[in-house]
Chains A and B, each alone.
Chain A
Amino acid sequence: MLKVRKDLHGAVSLNVNGKNFVTYPKATATLVDTLRETLKLTGTHIGCQTARCGGCVVELNGLSVKACTVLTHQAQGAIIRTIEGVADGSADLDRVQEAFRQNHALQCGFCTPGMIMSVRDLLQHNPSPSEAEIREGLKGNLCRCTGYQNIVRAVQCLINNEVSEDTSFDEKRGIGAACPRKEDARFLTGKGRYCSDIDLPGQLHAVFVRSKVAHATIETVDVSEAEKIPGVVAVYTGADVLGDGLGELSCGWIVHSRDGSPMQGGQRPILAHERLRYVGDAYALVLAEDADIAKQAAELVRIETRDQEHNVDPLQAERSEALHQTAKQNVCFDWQFGDELGAKQALDKAAHVIKINLTNNRLIPNALEPRAALADFEPGSETATLYTTSQNPHMARKIISETVGFIGEHNLRAISPDLGGGFGSKIFIYPEECAVLWASRKTGRPVKWVATRKESFLCDAHGRDHRTTAELSLDTDHNFLGMNVQTTANLGAYLSSFAAFVPTYLYGTMLAGPYRTPAVSCAVKGVFTNTAPVDAYRGAGRPEATYLLETLIDTAARELGIDPVDLRQKNLIQPDEFPYQTPVALEYDSGDYQAHLNRALKTADYVGFKDRKKEAASRGYLRGIGVSCYVEACGIAPSAVAGALGADVGLWESALLRFTPSAKLQVFTGSHSHGQGHETTFAQLVSEHFNLPLDDIRIIHGDTDNTPVGMGTYGSRSLAVGGSAILKAADKIIEKGKYIAAHLLDVKKEDVIFEAGRFFSRSNNDGLALGEIVHAAYVPHDYPEDLEPGLEASAFYDPTNFTYPSGTHICEVEINPRTGAIDIIKFVAVDDFGEIVNPFVVEGQVHGGIVQGIGQALFEHGLYDPETGKPKTISYLEYALPRATNLNNILVGSTYTPCTHNPVGAKGCGEAGAIGAPPAIMNAVANAIGKRVEMPATPKRIWQACQSHQMNDQSDD
């Protein structure tokens, strides 16, 4: 007879943030579930559920723990502190939170609560940690945005007592002010509101049933056992999708093959009904009263399939069984761009031809907030609200309403609240969001889906995955003559929303880089394989082009025995050559490439490298230095050009500025922030314009029912395009203000000027404050007869050209040839982003981009097993993201040439790091070893290269 206590649904008492609670969790409920779902303390986040990301770190009896590893019953009687209980009430923020705020140690805010709990634990046990100890203390927490650098700096400020009590720098506000961000207070205190934090009464939980095989035809799907589980409300399959006449998702950018035919294949059903095309392909949807029930029922859905030959290798695609009927031999498009004949002629007359084969490794974006959706269809009004993790809610509304077919765009409201990172992966329209909206209509209940990390690995659009052969031809003086590029781009099993655009127009047009290369030819074959769809990931096409070009140039320098910097300098476009028409369609408006190269060389002490290499060699280590110069294209536009290249969209951005009657300013933008800090940067922009305090300005985005139609945030476009729309609308308001002021001042409108927040008359010094004009507009008692009351204006801005940020990145590495271990000793980035509104924000973007670039160069690789077609990297136990302990500080600097064609003068900074960093690192590796290594340069690859090179190399450099 057992006498021990058995808690089936026994009570657990917890003291959380000083308050006592009694809950009755399931035996298998984790502490993070209880905190979030029962106690509604949603500041503790779920990023992986495998104890690897640190998003759920809380304090349990004084120790930091990952709440996803603690069963709530195990915490019986515990004293728990969550992010919501960190500030003691005497101030809004405690010291750690304040240090984070002052050092811009957070971006999207998703990892921030866990990070703060870990820092508290660290400082409790070690009040004055070294930098290495700080990084070790942060090792359990992943951050995908900041590159950890400002987090380390925040901790250093804490231990050096450099957290300022004086917060007057909050008052700094205009363009160029490094003020802390407006959004930070909510992220630091766990009050950010992410999609998965939102619940609706009566909601059902959705779980998708996914293919475990890479390629098969579906014979039958049997849901009868799953439907019998109590709590299951419905199970839908691909047959239901067909029966209800739902459409398929397709790519919004049509690319044509060299023979003029449009691209073929790749349409994606909302649930697979005929064929499973990759591991993760969803073929059924279970809806249940709770997520646990839905998961158990999903395991009971039975599928009979007939296996088909699978292929995960893009170079084998043409010889493998076709995934899509219309795409013969799995070729979606066979695209040719540039001057094929000219490039061939350049090869023929060249003194030197350098040829390389290289792979651009498949990456899995890994925003720390997994995708989520919550749909609520209202049958009475035939309207619906969809909460979605989207970088582009207006586009989500358009495509989802068109795809499901039963709701007009005007009746669907898409709300994208705070986003925990995106990096491209949340631009696209996926089947899951369409499915939950459809399911909400069918069940008459709200339906919620939150992806697991494994689903993020399986099904979020991956990035890169190119195989390329390229030739660079040079004359006897080492001037570039031409380049010939042939790339096979792995598109995955389906065409994602912008999949065709990324390896073509975002890639081929960037191949000239910052150099004069008279003839460039680029051929890209886009092929289908039994892998997750591939689409834009931070940089999108431009990192692939830059890595190729900069590798080619370094290889040329090595083979020709000249300094790689000299070879670059010889071929750089000079400042007096702008505007510069490249041979690959773009016209660069401005830049000074020599300026950032010089600055970077100086900061990196390029000249002194030889001595450092010698010193390292004396210790048995290999040192290498690598340079990469890049130019990229942001703010893709104008719309007409995009259309001519195959876009099914315009690429303008919108803004609506509204003064409230009490002279506060609401700024509605169609762009969206997923960590970039628009609430601050955009506010600074209009603060400068109107001379208003930041506190009087509110930036509103992400809700299609109350923002003007916009195009979202990607491609480093928000400030250059969205900011320009804001300024355009601001100018309209000032124009109207001048009419009102002229009336009130009894002068001509032409005589009114607006300066420092006041409307003045040229003819006398009379002036009216902006607030007085706003008041007059809303209380139009004494008012121009022909003028409408109110003070708001909207604007759409369609740029006349792309913007062209550029920069030089230099990396110095040290390699242990015995273990293959690599250490980035120094990383220098000098970039030209044009006008910088908030240097803090820009620096943070650069850090984060570079660390994602380091991830690509050294750690990250999305892998499939060619034998089984199954993915090998489906959790943080297999896929390595850079952690704080893997990194050293990055030195960031900037040079300045403004964009010539937008009113902000800004060029965009979000992707630069991910573009410039990988070649700088890989060139440093090649410089150290004497030969090239493919990305990611894992210790094993580095070691193997050292071995084979030592055997072959007779020279002793």
Chain B
Amino acid sequence: MIEAAFHTPHTVGEASDLLVELDNSALVSGGQWLVPRIRSHDITLEHVISTHELSELKGIQGRSDLIIIGAGETHNTIATSFPINTELPSLADMARKVGDQQVRNRGTIGGALVSSPEHTDYSLALLGLDGSLKTNKRQIPADAFLDSTSASKILTDEILISIEFSIPQFATYKKIPHPAANHADAGVFLSKFDNGETRIIVSGSNQWPVGLLDAELSLKHNKGIFSAIEKQFQHDVFFASRLCALLEECLGELP
């Protein structure tokens, strides 16, 4: 009979020591992914380490070209944050599309990215906004983190501290949610930067890792980008058709 222990470290350093020294331990943040799995015995832990008291994981900072969000911030905090709604409204909008009100009240951006990067909407924003992840050990660029072939996943003894997004001139996110699980069955994130660079990130329907489309060449000729999508996803024409419909909506909002 395994009887787990609960730990409440007060600094990232303490938490890191616990993670390293204790076998079969894991961090719990908003708990939306982990707690049901503990309860159903799909995951059996001997040590549950709370991020609750880790002030380093809190806070949202807006800089001139950057938004930095503590990994422990909830979806609803992001959705209602003044700097995010002012500087990066597409991210606030994305947060509002996560789960439901109760999940958003409790679930955190860090938890979503660490537990299920393949399902969270934030993965698209990470790629579309030149994002990066700061852990207690290193800074991981978005593309490395989201490349499923690389080993840049957050390690089991590593702690995600914050997530950075660069601020574009314009960005928007459209999503068709899975009817049961609510993750994106199809999602399109479109961003445009001051230097004219435009990015289109797509995800959903087992299309993992999220796809990055070379948008620059084709945005001038709208036809081009749609046929690019159809070509890239020719094995799943339905998915491609949905992406095209979402992209059209995104492009319609482009100033």
Contacts and interface: CB of A to CB of B under 8 A. Distances in A.
Given A70-B31, A70-B35, A4 B10 contact: yes
Interface stretch (B96-104, B131-139, B146-154, B155-163): B96-104
Contacts of B106: 60, 63, 65-66, 69-70
Contacts of A49: 36, 39-40
B105 A30 contact: no
A27 B101 contact: no
A interface, size bucket = 35 or more
A139 B101 contact: yes
Contact of B242 (A819, A880, A881): A819
Contacts of A7: 5-8
B1 interface: yes
Contacts of B1: 229-231, 293, 296
B36 A4 contact: no
Interface string B9-45: 1100010011001000000101110011011110001
B58 interface: no
B251 interface: no
Nearest to B239: A940
Given A6-B6, A140-B103, A296-B2, A74 B52 contact: yes
Contacts of A8: 3, 5-6
B4 interface: yes
B23 to A, nearest CB: 14
Interface in B221-255: 237-238, 241-242, 244-246
Contact of B31 (A3, A71, A121, A229): A71
B179 interface: yes
Nearest to B14: A4
A931 interface: no
Nearest to A296: B1
Contacts of A121: 101-102, 105
A140 B102 contact: yes
Grouping DSSP codes into helix (H, G, I), strand (E, B) and loop, the B interface class, with mixed when no group exceeds half, is mixed
B36 A818 contact: no
Contact of B238 (A859, A877, A940): A940
Contacts of A191: none
A164 interface: no
B48 interface: yes
A73 interface: yes
B217 interface: no
A140 B99 contact: yes
B4 A26 contact: yes
B80 to A, nearest CB: 9
A886 B180 CA distance: 11
Interface string A920-944: 0000000000000000001110011
A2 interface: yes
B225 to A, nearest CB: 15
A122 B101 CA distance: 8
Given A65-B102, A943-B241, A6 B30 contact: no
B50 interface: yes
A103 to B, nearest CB: 21
B6 A73 contact: yes
A3 B11 CA distance: 11
A940 B206 CA distance: 14
A69 B9 CA distance: 20
B31 A27 contact: no
Contacts of B50: 71, 73-74
Contact of A859 (B8, B52, B179, B244): B179
Interface in A46-96: 49-51, 54, 57, 60, 63-66, 68-71, 73-74, 76
A307 interface: no
Given A71-B48, A943-B238, A944-B238, A76 B8 contact: yes
B209 to A, nearest CB: 21
Contacts of A293: 1
Contact of B5 (A6, A68, A943): A6
Contacts of B36: 49-51, 68-69
A820 B179 CA distance: 13
B6 A69 contact: no
A5 interface: yes
Contact of A4 (B7, B107, B179): B7
Contact of A877 (B9, B107, B180): B180
Contacts of A54: 100, 102
Interface string A9-45: 0100000000000000011101000000000000000
A780 to B, nearest CB: 61
A71 B185 CA distance: 30
Contact of A2 (B6, B18, B246): B18
Interface in B94-133: 99-103, 105-107
Contacts of B21: 2
A816 B14 CA distance: 53
B31 A74 contact: yes
Interface of B: 1-10, 14, 17-18, 21, 28, 30-32, 35-36, 38-41, 45, 48, 50, 52, 76, 99-103, 105-107, 176, 179-181, 185-186, 237-238, 241-242, 244-246
4 closest cross-chain pairs (CB), A and B: A140-B100, A27-B6, A880-B179, A880-B180
Given A7-B5, A71-B6, A295-B41, 19 more contacts: A3-B14, A6-B5, A8-B3, A30-B35, A49-B40, A69-B107, A70-B31, A73-B8, A76-B8, A229-B1, A230-B1, A296-B1, A820-B242, A877-B180, A880-B180, A939-B176, A940-B238, A943-B238, A944-B238
Interface of A: 2-8, 10, 26-28, 30, 49-51, 54, 57, 60, 63-66, 68-71, 73-74, 76, 118, 121-122, 136-137, 139-140, 229-231, 293, 295-296, 299, 452, 454, 816, 818-821, 859, 876-881, 886, 938-940, 943-944, 947
7 contacts: A26-B3, A51-B36, A64-B101, A69-B35, A74-B28, A140-B99, A231-B1
